[in-house]
A and B are shown apart, each in its own frame.
Chain A
Amino acid sequence: MVVTWRAAALMGLGVIPVLFLPANGTVLVWAAVVVLACLADVLLAASPRRVAVQRRVPASVRLRAEVTSELVVRNVSGRRLRAVVRDAWGPSSGAGPGRGSGDRVRPAAGGPGRHHVDLPDGEAARLPTTLVPTRRGDRAAGGVTVRSLGPLGLAGRQVTLPVPGRLRVLPEFASRKHLPSRLARLREMDGRAAVQIRGEGTEFDSLREYVVGDDVRSIDWRATARRREVVVRTWRPERDRRVLVVLDTGRTSAARVGAAGSTGAPRLDASIEAALLLAALAGHAGDRVELLAFDRTVRARVAGAAGPRLMPALAESLATVEPVLLETDWAGVVTQVRTRMTQRALVVLLTTLDPAAVENGLLPVVDQLARDHTVVVASVADEEVARLRAGRDTVAEVYDAAAAARGDLERTAVTTMLRRYGADVVEALPDDLAPRLADEYLALKAAGRL
């Protein structure tokens, strides 16, 4: 049972008869008229429980991409349905106003996802609502609320129908803009450049005739001796190497990074961007990519996906990974890596160079990893700390800068320790981490250290 502004307006019109007959009785009679009109409207309204509703949503969408949630509403009430229909989505789904247009459907004011519907009995209409999700993960839809009004539009009935709906929001993968340039460099290394360059890769590929410009150090004298012409060895980067990306989803990944003033984004989001770019690059380079999201247990795992199936599998499993407010169990990470990687592999640890957390967690175990594998520790730096470091205007800012400098020194110490144990360290601001990590991978590949 709902009333609309029309009921209030009708009640307000009662001023006119009251001015002619100024008595309390007139008011009572008018109020009775309004109540009766509202009751009649409620009784004459189409039942909102006799409306067939279907919600069509794409299974998944990339973060910040636009998608349409569509309600198909069919009037099976036996009466004309005049209603406002709300397609309810949570705030992070970024629902916009209703988008329908036509005789039967038009957008309604009052909030996102609302539609005016005017349907004769037995007819159906589509009610599209634009969603632009602002947060990764599974976004569950709320119910569909149908407010059916009577012929006078004074009052009606309202019910919220439990229509299921779920939209999986995949990581944005904004770092894919860096992919073409890295792929070009990969192809250069991969031997599709005009000239084979010694040092780009260590795996013996083939012998071919010398052309001007080839590195003379790559001339194979033994083969040259057997033939008339000068023969060079060609090398290519190793293929079918294993890359394991470990995402730390522990408490340090929950901290927000980003410019001051904004709410920022969790560190984990930047780590995911870096992981996706690295995986895309490594996948194209012919390496076998595995992924592990871990804090104290395995939160997500992708293994055995290759070729065109790799990136969808990664996006799907990373979509629902959320930071957990627990200390990461690095000994557990080592155990996981040991069981999954029996041969030498590139192990990329996407975590945070938080001095206390690293000293207690990662440092004691990193040498065990570095003994068997190539280890890269990648960390998301904070833009706001970088800004604090440069502040000089007030005394408070100088203290901030001093604290930031002290933190830098501690991080540098930790980085030095990690390097001493044989791990490479990449630390960069959220937007730079993905390309920097990709460059690190290319450098390792070029150096044949995979």
Chain B
Amino acid sequence: MTAPLPAPAAPHPAPVASPSGGPAATAATAAEPPVVVGDDTTGRSRAGRTWRRLRWPLTVLAAVALLVLFLAVVRPATSAAPYAPDNPESGGAMAVAEVLGDQGVRVTHVTSVAEATAAAGPGDTLLITPNPSFFAEDQISALNRTGADLVLVQPDYSMLAGLTRGVVDSTYGEPAEPVEPQCDDPAARAAGAMRLRPNLYDSSDGSGEARPVLCWPDGNGAYAYARLDLADRSVTVVGDPTVIRNDSVLEDGNAALALWMLGQNEHLVWLVPDPMDTSTVADEPTPSDRGQLDALMPPGSAPVALVVVLAGVLLALWRVRRMGPLVVEDLPVLVRSAEATRGRARLYRAARARGHAAAGLRAAAADRIATRLGLARSSDANTVVDAVVTATDRPKQQVADLLYGPPPADDAALTELARRLDILESEVHRP
């Protein structure tokens, strides 16, 4: 029996429940909140705090700076560049440079063609160590114009052609047994029998005024050393860089040959080419280049640009200063409850577990249908199928296949099964 009669007017007003027991916002402020003036700091305390905050970083920075300074003072400046006069490793050439320095030769270490042309002049020696890259055409002509005696160690083809006026060319040869120089050159005679790579040959046509002196032949027309005397200077070429390398300078007559070649003049300019170097002569960019840039810009644009940059700096300072610190807040975790279900669905899909998926869909559909038809949850398959057949007038085999049939063969079949289960479910009504 139900209660059909309407309730009479409530004898007391319907209570309005509110968790705060009053209006939405409890206006009662418990106690008068404190009045805050200042942040309890003085200029002095702020300075002290800044100092305390910065002293350790500053100490560390100062220590690092001191250490760097100490190392710079105590340790001689060395480098790791190959054939550099300040490189004490096996690939360097510090040994030769030091001995030359002790013998009164002033060694100037340069790394660009511009520096080399600026430092070397007539009466100097200009050593060009092997170039990891290639010199440009104008760089070679700039080196030619210095008027200094040139010493080329393992030059490449273009350098050789440009700096020896094409009378010496390079070939390829392997060093065999030590051979006597077999030529009339004081340096070669001082060095004596040596085992050098013979990769130079005479390419002059014999008509020119200059013919190179070639030493240490290999018997096949290739030589290891060439010397070309021009009117105002000489060009010496050694195809084998072991002559000046630290690790091999003591072998055979390497030292004698190197000192003889490089020690002819008071001043030696030691050019270790840098692959990034594209300079030819000093004082770049030229004034004419800058004049072109100025010609393109309206007059007075540089100061205006400076004003704009300074205004931009002020704008950045305005925007960068935050209006007080951020207020931090602990946020609750953000894990969706459905993630477990989605994860399980992806596992089914990745494993192609269509049987599992179909079984789940079928069992759920059968469960809902059984509930709707008033069957017990423990009813067996036959009972359910019979009840569905009665409720829907479908063939028994079809219903049994749908609810308890074999697992679907592919994803399309699974989708189809899900759709047909839905239709079946929609046809089942309470008997």
Interface residues, chain A, CB within 8 Å of chain B? 2-5, 7-9, 11-12, 14-15, 18-19, 22-24, 26-27, 30-31, 34, 49-62, 65-67, 72, 74, 76, 84, 86, 88-92, 110-111, 114, 135, 139-145, 147, 158-165, 170-171, 173, 176, 179-180, 183-184, 187-188, 192-195, 197-200, 215, 254-257, 260, 263-264, 266-267, 276, 280, 284, 308-309, 311-312, 314-316, 322-323, 325, 382, 384-385, 388, 392, 395-396, 398-409, 412, 416
Task: Supply 8 A–B pairs (Cβ within 8 Å), ascending by A.
Answer: A27-B303, A30-B307, A61-B26, A66-B24, A140-B327, A384-B336, A395-B414, A399-B414
Q: Does B232 interact with chain A (Cβ within 8 Å)? A: no
CB-based nearest B residue for A197:
B3
- Asked if A193 and B7 sit within 8 Å, CB to CB, the answer is yes
**Given known contacts A54-B34, A392-B419, A400 and B341 CB-to-CB distance under 8 angstroms:** yes
- Asked if A173 and B19 sit within 8 Å, CB to CB, the answer is yes
**Which residue in A23, A50, A311 is a CB contact (below 8 Å) of B18?**
A311
- Asked if A19 and B14 sit within 8 Å, CB to CB, the answer is no
A396 to chain B, nearest CB (A): 7
Interface residues on B, range: 35 or more
Q: Does B219 interact with chain A (Cβ within 8 Å)? A: no
Chain B residues within an 8 Å CB radius of A308: 21
**Given known contacts A61-B25, A197-B1, A260 and B338 CB-to-CB distance under 8 angstroms:** yes
Q: Does B47 interact with chain A (Cβ within 8 Å)? A: no
**Which residue in B29, B34, B329, B345 is a CB contact (below 8 Å) of A399?**
B345
- Asked if B337 and A5 sit within 8 Å, CB to CB, the answer is no
- Asked if B5 and A194 sit within 8 Å, CB to CB, the answer is yes
- Asked if B304 and A399 sit within 8 Å, CB to CB, the answer is no
**Which residue in B36, B299, B318, B323 is a CB contact (below 8 Å) of A52?**
B36
- Ordered nearest first, which 5 A-B pairs have the shortest CB separation? A22-B300, A315-B19, A145-B324, A402-B357, A142-B327
A294 to chain B, nearest CB (A): 18
Chain A residues within an 8 Å CB radius of B7: 184, 187-188, 192-193
Interface residues, chain B, CB within 8 Å of chain A? 1, 3, 5, 7-8, 10-11, 14-21, 24-30, 33-39, 41, 299-300, 302-304, 306-308, 310-312, 314-315, 317-318, 321, 323-329, 331-342, 344-346, 348-349, 356-358, 360-361, 363-365, 367, 377, 411-412, 414-415, 418-419, 422
**Given known contacts A12-B311, A143-B324, A392-B422, A403 and B1 CB-to-CB distance under 8 angstroms:** no
Chain B residues within an 8 Å CB radius of A183: 14-15
Chain A residues within an 8 Å CB radius of B415: 392, 395, 398
Chain B residues within an 8 Å CB radius of A142: 324-327
B347 to chain A, nearest CB (A): 8
Cα distance A199–B3 in the bound complex, in angstroms = 11
- Asked if B323 and A315 sit within 8 Å, CB to CB, the answer is no
Chain A residues within an 8 Å CB radius of B304: 15, 18-19, 22
CB-based nearest A residue for B17:
A280
Chain B residues within an 8 Å CB radius of A23: 303
- Asked if A53 and B35 sit within 8 Å, CB to CB, the answer is yes
**Which residue in A147, A193, A309 is a CB contact (below 8 Å) of B3?**
A193
CB-based nearest A residue for B365:
A405
**Given known contacts A49-B41, A192-B7, A403-B345, A160 and B36 CB-to-CB distance under 8 angstroms:** no
**Given known contacts A88-B324, A403-B348, A31 and B310 CB-to-CB distance under 8 angstroms:** yes
Chain B residues within an 8 Å CB radius of A276: 19
- Asked if A141 and B37 sit within 8 Å, CB to CB, the answer is no
- Asked if B1 and A7 sit within 8 Å, CB to CB, the answer is no
- Asked if B36 and A215 sit within 8 Å, CB to CB, the answer is no
- Asked if A62 and B20 sit within 8 Å, CB to CB, the answer is yes
Cα distance A14–B310 in the bound complex, in angstroms = 10
Cα distance A266–B348 in the bound complex, in angstroms = 27
CB-based nearest B residue for A272:
B19
**Which residue in B38, B299, B346 is a CB contact (below 8 Å) of A22?**
B299
- Asked if A398 and B329 sit within 8 Å, CB to CB, the answer is no
Chain B residues within an 8 Å CB radius of A398: 357, 361, 411, 414-415, 418
Chain A residues within an 8 Å CB radius of B24: 61-62, 65-66
CB-based nearest A residue for B412:
A395
**Given known contacts A385-B341, A388-B338, A12 and B19 CB-to-CB distance under 8 angstroms:** no
CB-based nearest B residue for A25:
B303
- Asked if A89 and B327 sit within 8 Å, CB to CB, the answer is yes
B262 to chain A, nearest CB (A): 48
**Which residue in B19, B34, B317 is a CB contact (below 8 Å) of A170?**
B19
- Asked if A59 and B28 sit within 8 Å, CB to CB, the answer is yes
**Which residue in B11, B303, B306, B346 is a CB contact (below 8 Å) of A192?**
B11
CB-based nearest A residue for B336:
A256
Cα distance A158–B360 in the bound complex, in angstroms = 65
Chain A residues within an 8 Å CB radius of B412: 395
Chain A residues within an 8 Å CB radius of B340: 407
- Asked if B318 and A3 sit within 8 Å, CB to CB, the answer is yes
Chain A residues within an 8 Å CB radius of B1: 197-199, 215
**Which residue in B34, B38, B307 is a CB contact (below 8 Å) of A18?**
B307
CB-based nearest A residue for B357:
A402
- Asked if B332 and A323 sit within 8 Å, CB to CB, the answer is yes
- Asked if B324 and A86 sit within 8 Å, CB to CB, the answer is yes
- Asked if A62 and B19 sit within 8 Å, CB to CB, the answer is yes
CB-based nearest A residue for B39:
A161
- Asked if A3 and B317 sit within 8 Å, CB to CB, the answer is yes
- Asked if A160 and B324 sit within 8 Å, CB to CB, the answer is yes
- Asked if A416 and B377 sit within 8 Å, CB to CB, the answer is yes
**Which residue in A90, A173, A193, A257 is a CB contact (below 8 Å) of B328?**
A90
CB-based nearest B residue for A308:
B21
Cα distance A407–B29 in the bound complex, in angstroms = 49
- Asked if A402 and B25 sit within 8 Å, CB to CB, the answer is no
A4 to chain B, nearest CB (A): 6
**Given known contacts A62-B24, A171-B19, A200-B3, A385 and B323 CB-to-CB distance under 8 angstroms:** no
* Most interface-central of B325, B342, B414 (chain A CB within 10 A): B342
Chain A residues within an 8 Å CB radius of B335: 254-256
CB-based nearest B residue for A254:
B333
* Most interface-central of A12, A86, A147 (chain B CB within 10 A): A12
CB-based nearest B residue for A162:
B39
Cα distance A402–B342 in the bound complex, in angstroms = 10
- Asked if A323 and B333 sit within 8 Å, CB to CB, the answer is yes
Chain B residues within an 8 Å CB radius of A4: 318
Cα distance A43–B39 in the bound complex, in angstroms = 19
Chain B residues within an 8 Å CB radius of A256: 334-337
CB-based nearest B residue for A53:
B36
Chain A residues within an 8 Å CB radius of B361: 398, 401-402, 405
- Asked if A58 and B26 sit within 8 Å, CB to CB, the answer is yes
- Asked if A405 and B337 sit within 8 Å, CB to CB, the answer is no
**Which residue in B25, B38, B344 is a CB contact (below 8 Å) of A67?**
B25
- Asked if B327 and A141 sit within 8 Å, CB to CB, the answer is yes
- Asked if B341 and A395 sit within 8 Å, CB to CB, the answer is no
- Asked if B345 and A311 sit within 8 Å, CB to CB, the answer is no
B299 to chain A, nearest CB (A): 6
CB-based nearest B residue for A267:
B337
Chain B residues within an 8 Å CB radius of A163: 34, 36
A447 to chain B, nearest CB (A): 14
CB-based nearest A residue for B28:
A59
Cα distance A399–B344 in the bound complex, in angstroms = 9
- Asked if A404 and B341 sit within 8 Å, CB to CB, the answer is yes
Cα distance A316–B18 in the bound complex, in angstroms = 12
